[in-house]
Amino acid sequence: MFKRFVTFTPVTGIYKKVIQPYKKWNELADMSRPIELDGEYYRILRITGLINRLGTRKMVMCHEDGQLIKDENLSRECVNVFLYLDVFQENSGTIIINSKADTDIKLNEFIVELKNV
């Protein structure tokens, strides 16, 4: 099982100051790798519990320089990236299983067709 959300690392540098007003003393904060949208770089800062590191309690978006994003559409685009990663992480085990099952089915179909030739 994952101990940390995909691509997120503990908050460092200027991002500690950005997330501090939103974080309680008993919560942990993570930051995403830089996300490029329209040639600019952004980061998602998220707050998790001490025990459940995968569950996001709060989330803010900021520019690479630490300025919070006020634009709703830009925030939505950053959240979409986060949601894609979340869906991937949740389904990563079944994606591998399904791809193996599909391969076996296709291989068997190929063998049947090969015998008919």
| DSSP conformational letter for 68 | B
Q: Check whether 7 has a pLDDT greater than 80.
A: no
Q: Check whether 1 has a pLDDT greater than 60.
A: no
Q: How confident is the model at residue 102 (pLDDT cuts 50, 70, 90)?
A: low
Q: How confident is the model at residue 53 (pLDDT cuts 50, 70, 90)?
A: confident
Check if the beta carbon of residue 56 is closer than 8 Å to that of residue 106.
no
Amino acid at 67: Q
Q: How confident is the model at residue 98 (pLDDT cuts 50, 70, 90)?
A: low
Nearest of 36, 33, 65 to residue 46 by alpha carbon? 33
